Each structure stands twice: as structure tokens, then as C-alpha cells.
Amino acid sequence: MIFNQYLIPKPSGYSVEHCGAFVCGLAKKSGWFVMAVLSIYLIYMPGAGAVIQMSHLYEAETVVEGQGKSERRRAFRDMLGEMVVRISGSRDAVLFPRIIKALKRPDQFVQQYRYFQKTVEKEPVRELIAGQTEEQIAEQVPDLKPDPITILWIRVDRKAVINLLQQSELPVWQDIRPATLVWLAMDYDGQRYLLGNDDENQIREQLSQHAERRGVPLLFPLMDLEDQQKISFTDIWGGFSGAIHDASERYATEAMLVVRILQDRNGAWSARWNLYDTQGELQWQYASEQIPELLGEGVDRLADRLGELYSVYEGEQLHTQVLLNVSGVNSLQAYARVQQYLNTISVISEKRLVRLEDDQLQFSLELEGETSDLTQAFALKNVLAPNLAANLETLPEQETPQQRLQEQDLQEQKLQEQLLQEERSLGQSVQQRQTKLYYRLRP
């Protein structure tokens, strides 16, 4: 497996309201105790793990007929090509001249390889079984015993592959990748339903396998009582974005994928895909006689899009230092909400709490990108809002609270644009500046 998913529910019967004010009241006197309690609580926050550490991007396996040198070399070539696509984030990467040349000598990139046997259960064809006796089935499908197959596994040299991509002027998509929440609706075999995290379904499994091939971590909804109360098959099939965003809020992912799969009376498959990410919405459709082709094309479009957003070219990676000030954190639950939310922002590579006072938190952040990438991610979710009250002049008394908040949002946007423009015009590196950002926790 290329990735694992973690989603730990909050323990039943645990009431944050009963202890939040008391614990926060101890902050100044017993900071170490507060941090310990808060850290323990964060473990149980629902929706944790929206950013996934991909631990097997540089490994692959495939079925082979034998263990001969020529077949092994062909398998090396195919798996190396698969990893080039996975790590660059683009399926067009294998068309670059340097990559084509490297694929002719794949052995130089392979650090380890081994063979192992795997048993696969045979599945009789459904059309042969319907309405027939066991004797009739046995005549048409005589051998249903498991067949052993040979698998070739390899691990490639990480540094060598990254150097190859950089020499080919291709980007690199790092190991820490944001999970994509998948709402999968099926209209198939006379039934309509949504697929959740615990549902065993061949189409869901194939979708996950294609995502694994491209190195895209997927997260499926729990479809528990909370999900069922917020969203239905009709919401997904009709593309009602309001209900979809509302139901997705608990999972705190940067991207949401809505997939609607239909099989017509002739057995042909079609799918509509909607991707909601930090840049907006992307839609596409695809039809095929074969479900693997349908799912593979859809996942490739998803992976190519995410690769465009998150992969970086050599010399382009910035490590921006930011001091993030968050106000309105007046309870244990609010603190945990801020921490858990920041953990879902993929542009944040390092996070350290440096000050905890009253309802104010200050974090030292290191970003893999620019400050605008962070503010853009904040704008996507309704968790943090700009707060420049400390730096703004006193507003006229006749202004309403809503007008003041709108003014703060505009001032924040102008301030960030001005800062970034100054950095570019003066030729200063973003990584040498420590930007201060002021936000407040929304209710």
C-alpha cells in the first residue's frame, strides 16, 4: 500500500465544555500542563489526518510470468515509468526525451527487487452463473481453484529519480500530500446508493487502486448518522454544492471529489466528476465500456490537477517564515479546533506554538510556498478570518459589526498584496522575511 488513512473519532461522553475554561485559565501558571492536556485532546479530534505522509512512493510491484532477465527488465521499465508519473504529478512526464532515454536503462535506478508468490481467487463470470445449477456452472467454468501468481517488487533510488526529473525540467511532488475527500454515488444494477469508508465494493476498491498508482491519498466519508443527516444520494447526484460543502466540513480536506457513476441498459459506463480545490471547481465527464478504464481516466485527471497545484520545480521551492496570531481562542475546544485545522493545511511544513495568552495564540510557521498560498488556503474554509483590529485606526461609531469585519477582510487582502509586491520589486527572497498575519477564530 502507498498510504494509510487515519480518522479517529472523539471518545463518547467526553465533554470539552466541562473543562475548557478551567484548563485555559491555568495557561499562565501551568503552561506545560495545559500543553499536555491539549495535545492529548488533539489525538481525538475528528477529521485528523487530512494531510498524508506517503511512505511508498518510490516502490512498485507488478505481475510477471517468469523471472527471466528480459522480462524483469521490461517490468523495471514499466514500474519506473509509473513512479516518474507519480512523483512528477504528470502523466505526460514519460514523454520527455531524458525520461525516454532513462527508461531504456531502468536498472540504474533500482536499489532493491524481489519476487514473491500470491494466490488469487478466481471469480466466475456472473452471466454464466445466473439461473444455472452448480453442475452447469462447473461444466462452463471447470477450474475455480485459486491460482498462484508471481509478483515482482522494486524500490528505486529516490535521489536518482528526483535528479532525473530536475534534469528533465520536470516538477517534483513531495511525500506529504493532501487527502482528497471522495463522495461516490452509484446508479447501478437497479440500485442507487452512496459508498462510505466501510463499504466493500469492487468499484470503490478499483478507484482506490488507481489512486494508489498515482500517489493520491483518498478519504471516503464515514456515512454515519451525522453524514446521513447532512447529505443524501440526491444531493450528490444533483451536484448541490452547498450540501456537499456542509457535509465535507468535518473532514477538513483541501480538496473534495464528487463522482457520479451510471451504467446504462446496454451495460456501458459513464461518470461525471466535480473537483473542488483551492483554485475553485473543475468538471469533466468520461464514458467507457469498461469500468477500469473509466475509473483510471478519472483518477488520472484528478492526479494531474493536484500535481499542477502541489508539485514544484527545482529552485522554485520557497521556505517562508510566518508568525500567525490567532485571537478568539477562549476554550480547550477552540484551541484544539485551531491546531487540528492548521494540521490540514498542506503548505505548512512546520508549526510551533510560541505564545499562549488569554484568548491569543501565536504560531511560528514554516511554509513550503508563499504567504499567499497560506492565506488562499485560509479563504477556502470558514475557520479563520482576517483580524487587523490592532493595526487599524478606530472605525466610525456608525459602522456595524458586519461592516467592520468586511473592512478588516479588505485591509488584510490589501496588506498581503502590498507585502508580496514589495518583496518581488526589491528582489528579496521570501524565505528571508518573517511575515506577521493576524486572524481570528470564527464561531
Stated pTM of the model: 0.66
Q: State the average pLDDT for the chain.
A: 80
Of the two residues 378 and 156, the one the predictor is more confident about is 156
Lowest mean pLDDT among 78-92, 174-188, 243-257, 392-406: 392-406
* Grid coordinates given for 279: 483554485
pLDDT given for residue 215 in this prediction: 97
Rounded CA separation 228/89 (Å): 34
Give the pLDDT mean for 276-297. 94
Give the pLDDT mean for 316-321. 73
pLDDT given for residue 408 in this prediction: 61
User: In this predicted model, what pLDDT tens digit does every residue of 323-344 receive, in sequence order?
Assistant: 999 999 999 999 999 998 998 8
Q: Parallel, antiparallel, or unpaired for β 319-327 and 434-441? A: parallel
* Band of pLDDT at residue 135, cut at 50, 70 and 90: low
pLDDT given for residue 322 in this prediction: 92
Lowest mean pLDDT among 289-298, 335-344, 399-408, 430-439: 399-408
Indicate the SS3 state at residue 28.
Answer: coil
Residue 13 burial (10 A CB sphere; 0-12, 13-18, 19+): exposed
User: In this predicted model, what pLDDT tens digit does every residue of 180-194 receive, in sequence order?
Assistant: 999 999 998 889 999
User: Phi/psi of residue 367, each to 5°?
Assistant: -110, 145
C-alpha distances in angstroms, 78 versus 74, 86, 379? 6, 12, 41
Rounded CA separation 57/294 (Å): 24
Rounded CA separation 180/112 (Å): 31
Where are the extended beta strands (E) located within 145-268? 147-156, 176-178, 180-188, 191-195, 218-219, 255-263
pLDDT given for residue 33 in this prediction: 44
* Band of pLDDT at residue 415, cut at 50, 70 and 90: low
pLDDT given for residue 74 in this prediction: 97
